[in-house]
Amino acid sequence: MHQSFILAAIEEARKGKGKTFTNPLVGAAIVKEGKLLSLGAHLHYGESHAEVNVIKNCSSPEELFNSTLYVTLEPCNHQGKQPPCTQAIVQSGITTVVIGQLDPNPLVAGKGREFLQKHGIKVIVGVEEEKCRA
C-alpha cells in the first residue's frame, strides 16, 4: 500500500527537475482512507518545499486531519530560505508521515523525524528508499 503512494510522490518530484538546484528533487502525496487527496513537489529553488505545496494543494484544511503524508525525503526541521516543513506538518493535522529516505544533510539528518515523533506523529522510514534517492 505505501509503495504506490510513495511512487506517486517520486513521479511528482520530477516536476522540479532542473529548477531546484542546489536542493534535491522532493515530491509528496497526501492520502486519507486509501484515497489520494493531493500531490506536491518542490518546484523552484528558494520557494516552498514539497510538504508545504502538498498541504496547500488540498481542497480544504479539514481533509488533512488524520491523513497520511508520503514524502520522498525527510522533512526539514530548520529555518533556511523557507520555514521548517515539520512545523507545517504538525499544524496541519496529519497523523502519519511515510518518508522514502532520511536526509543525509547534517542540518536535517534525522532531526525532522525526531521532531515529528515528539509531536505525536507516527513516522515510517525507508519505503522505496533506493528509488527515492535516484
Range of lowest pLDDT (6-10, 96-100, 124-128, 130-134): 130-134
Instruction: Indicate the residue type of 23.
Output: N
Confidence category of residue 108, pLDDT binned at 50, 70, 90? confident
**68-83 average pLDDT score:** 94
The per-residue DSSP string of the chain comes to -HHHHHHHHHHHHGGGTTTSTTSPP-EEEEEETTEEEEEEE--STTS--HHHHHHHTSS-GGGGTT-EEEEEEPPP-S-SSS--HHHHHHHHT--EEEEEE---STTTTTHHHHHHHHTT-EEEE-TTHHHHH-
Tell me whether residue 51 is one of the annotated catalytic residues.
Answer: yes
pLDDT band at residue 83 under the 50/70/90 scheme:
very high
Name the band, by pLDDT with cuts 50, 70 and 90, for residue 91. very high
Mean pLDDT of 72-92: 94
Q: In whole angstroms, how large is the CA radius of gyration of the chain?
A: 13
* Confidence check: pLDDT of 81 > 90: no
Q: What is the mean pLDDT of residues 51-62?
A: 96
What are the chain's domains?
2-133 (3.40.140.10)
What percent of the chain lies above the pLDDT cut of 90?
89
Does the pLDDT at position 110 exceed 80? yes
Pick the more confident residue, 106 or 34.
34
Q: How high is the pLDDT of residue 134?
A: 72
Determine which one of 11, 33, 51, 128 is catalytic: 51
pLDDT tens digit string along 21-36? 888 999 999 999 999 9
- Residue found under cell 528509488: 131
Written as nine digits, the cell of 101 is 529516505
CB 53 within 8 A of CB 16: no
